[in-house]
Chains A and B, each alone.
Chain A
Amino acid sequence: MTETTDAARTAGTAGGGAPAATAAAEPMVRVENVYKSFGRLRVLSGIDLQVRPGEVCVVLGPSGSGKSTLLRCINHLEKIDAGRIWVDGELIGYRQRGGKLHELRDKEVAAQRRSIGMVFQRFNLFPHMTALENVMEAPLCARLGTKAEIRERALALLRRVGLGDKVDTYPRQLSGGQQQRVAIARALAMQPKLMLFDEPTSALDPELVGEVLDVMKDLARDGMTMIVVTHEIGFAREVGDHLIFMDGGQVVEAGPPREVIAEPKHERTRAFLAKVL
């Protein structure tokens, strides 16, 4: 992409955000035995997952396997039925007090979500706001500084995703790839500890996929902790530190992406990869 990207890349490697350095630390995300049903349809049944700080976890699986639901549970867009989820040591959605779980209030849930960025398959940009206003909105609502400071940071973020010249453009006038890059900048504006990507390139024309993946690779090199639901096997192999394969609401197989993709142990993983590759 541009010079800024290259600068960020070198900064990322120099900064030592590699997972090896922080392997011993407390996991950034801990998902423990999570169950979730919609009515009588069970979507997640006993999911366990750990993501260490700075790690990129790739989630693969056929549609309907519960990948998106898992992501949506991690920032409490969906309530889980059983199990526990911690992000950076904080229990998501509940408070443990005297052996009992208490639901968090609306405001407390909102506060938890501020440290978790999310990027959606269909971008979900705010269509009545320009790209810059989209990026500034959440920090303004959370009062993360003066308007001028927030504006400066938003401009820097838009430049970082290569859209410094599209600041005053409305989402409808941007291509899908550009919209998704604004959406990433918008999530980054809250300075999250964790980024969730829900099939970020699935709604894009093939020739636009690359520009979004480049931004995500850049983020990964900067040491951002990421959980990425995707069908981009190449991205998984190149950027992923950890891969889980889900089917029927369960983690069927997990391990280093290269190994799992090269020689899947489980029959269902093999069948899925044969179709995707």
Chain B
Amino acid sequence: MAEAATTERARPEPITAVPVRHPWRWVAVAVLAVLVAMFVHMLVTNDNLHWSFMVDNMFRPPIIEGVRGTILLTISSMAVGLVLGLVVAVMRLSANPILRVVAWVYTWFFRAVPRLVLLVLCGNLGILWKRIEFGLPFDRQIGALFGVDDFTARFYGVDSLSLLSGFTAGLLGLALSEGAYMAEIIRAGIQSVDPGQSEAAAALGLSRGQALRRIVLPQAMRVIVPPTGNETIAMLKDTSLVAAVPITVELFYQLRAVGVRAFDPFPMLVAATIWYLFLTSILLVLQYFVERYFARGYGRTERARMRLREIAAETGGGGAA
């Protein structure tokens, strides 16, 4: 009896149930559709937008120059900020109390001062020092102590005006500030890695540096990358602050200059919005690929690929393995 039941039992009919209805979703779609229609209607009919003026001007050479400046400043200050942040984060987690304090003071200062203030400050450092020179510290005072007038021991120097004008000052301000934020992000990333990992590395005889570089940091990257993407996007937009240094080879300054000169500022503000949307979208694509790389050994993608391989093997799809 039981045998017959198990062998002859047919596969039941697939379930065809009436799905739960969601009427409010349709209402939401309708409301949104009306709002979008209103917005598009405004874009087409409002004469003050001056579309042709905008399109004519948003790709002119000085604007493209500004785009290049913005991208260059974003990449270089993020790069310097990342390196700084890594160094400071490692210092912060070091066993050496002096390094820990120095790192804490650094992050405290540069997170406390607003970027705009920091940029103006960097742009005006020339007021403090006419020249920047390297040599023996307190050389004049030491000379006076031994009765030598005008004793100097300086090996190399540059005019601060030529060094700290424009791009360098902007880079300095943005990178120093970014370093402080990146340090906190990287520290959180390192601390998110299971302590068992450094323990296993230590038990295998890896030095602390090796464990950090080969074992801990690659795993911390999973936590570090998403907020770093955020920081990069924020940096792209914060480059518009360098007008305060002042730096003029920058996207927003150039666009606004065109608008102001033509006594028609609004279209160029729209142009700025479009430019920043475009640049940010590129960054988002890059972030996606970086995140996927550092998720190896973890993610759903890996498991999905495995399942695909299994299915292929089951259906006998030319499996050599």
Contact = CB atoms under 8 A, between A and B. Distances in A.
Contacts of A114: 204-205
A187 to B, nearest CB: 7
A129 B216 CA distance: 12
17 contacts: A106-B208, A110-B206, A118-B200, A120-B203, A124-B200, A126-B200, A127-B298, A128-B296, A137-B204, A137-B214, A138-B206, A170-B302, A171-B297, A173-B306, A187-B203, A190-B204, A190-B205
Given A141-B210, A170-B302, A120 B200 contact: yes
Contacts of A75: 203
Nearest to B198: A124
A107 interface: yes
Interface of A: 75, 77, 106-107, 110-114, 116-118, 120, 122, 124-130, 137-138, 141-142, 170-173, 186-187, 190
Contacts of B218: 128
B206 A124 contact: no
A70 to B, nearest CB: 15
Given A118-B203, A122-B196, 17 more contacts: A77-B199, A77-B202, A106-B207, A110-B205, A114-B204, A116-B203, A124-B197, A124-B199, A126-B219, A128-B298, A130-B297, A137-B206, A141-B207, A141-B210, A173-B302, A187-B204, A190-B205
Nearest to A129: B297
A150 to B, nearest CB: 13
B210 to A, nearest CB: 5
Interface residues of B, number: 24
Contacts of A111: 205
Contacts of B201: 126
Given A122-B196, A137-B214, A172-B297, A128 B219 contact: yes
Nearest to B321: A165
Given A126-B215, A127-B219, A171-B297, A113 B207 contact: no
Contacts of A127: 219, 297-298
A172 B202 contact: no
Contacts of B215: 126, 137
Interface string B168-212: 000000000000000000000000001011011111111110100
Contacts of A142: 205
A118 B210 CA distance: 18
Contacts of A128: 218-219, 296-298
A137 B214 CA distance: 9
B296 A170 contact: yes
Contacts of B303: 172-173
Interface string B203-233: 1111110100011001100000000000000
A187 B200 CA distance: 9
Contacts of A130: 297
Interface in B294-312: 296-298, 302-303, 306
Nearest to B306: A173
Contact of B204 (A107, A173, A186): A186
